[in-house]
Structure 1
């Protein structure tokens, strides 16, 4: 099952469960708030720990790939990216942290301003699902080898309908072509 389909299934299932929870009871609502805050603090703590492990490993292996053009400007050429494994992994953890922060902001609006209560429960579950899917966590904390789906640069997850998304190109021909376009030197 693809990640998008799993997210949809979890969301729909959580919505059905959330309908049965009596959020109008102040005690239940406070437990939902505590659960949400605990989940978010756990996510932030784990991602911070992952970034510390990445910095401690300090893997300076060079990573070259051609970043695909953005969806907003598909006629543009891909951009050559030369980085290290350390910097790439830190950038990925930064993306995960931004997703947590955006979720907190969204929840502050939905629950704090709009007074919706069910998203507290749903977002707590989705946060844990995001932790399960975090590739840097799998590599650096769980010790899985960086092969297959965990090979850097990480491929974008397919969409909900399984559409292929153009991920980064790592083949030597694409990298050489991009180096020629920017006037870079070819390293062998």
Structure 2
């Protein structure tokens, strides 16, 4: 089962489980709030730990790839030249921003709209996404950067189709370098 379908199945299962939780009981609600806050705190702490680990390793191996182009535009993807350190830091930064966005959304849903079930669901899904984060797999769990974890990371497949992955083949990189050279001459 691909990632989005698996997330949907887990979300639906956790929502069914959340229906059985008595959120009217203030004590249960407090436990759910504490669980959600603990999950988000653990997630952010792990991401900051990954950032520190990446900085301490300071891997200056150069990575070249062509970003996936926007499907709505005719523009070809841009050439990216970076280091393993900078790439991992940018990926970890994306994960941190995603966590903060989710946190802001949950604060709105819970405090303003008075929804409680999403706290329960997001606490579980937050742990799942932490476990699946590629920088966490490499720097915390010690998995080698091979296959699915090879940099640059492949895009996550969407619900309605495959992801557009960055191109790492020599021909695509040379084509992008030629485009850049042609633009500089103009």
Category of TM-score, reference length = shorter chain = over 0.9
TM-superposed deviation, 1:72: 4.0
Give RMSD over aligned pairs.
1.0
Matches within 5 A, 1:49-88: 49-73=49-73, 75-88=74-87
Q: How high is the TM-score relative to the length of structure 2?
A: 0.95
Matches within 5 A, 1:139-154: 139-154=138-153
In the alignment, structure 1 segments of 5+ residues that lack a partner are none
The secondary structure found in structure 1 opposite 2:125 is helix
Matches within 5 A, 1:17-56: 17-56=17-56
After superposition, give the CA deviation of every residue in 1:51-108 in whole Å (9 maximum; x if it has no partner): 00000000000000000112442x1111000000000000000010011001100001
Q: How high is the TM-score relative to the length of structure 1?
A: 0.94
After superposition, give the CA deviation of every residue in 1:1-48 in whole Å (9 maximum; x if it has no partner): 211111101100010000000000000000000000000000000000
Counterpart of 2:177? 179
| Number of equivalent positions | 182
TM-superposed deviation, 1:165: 1.9
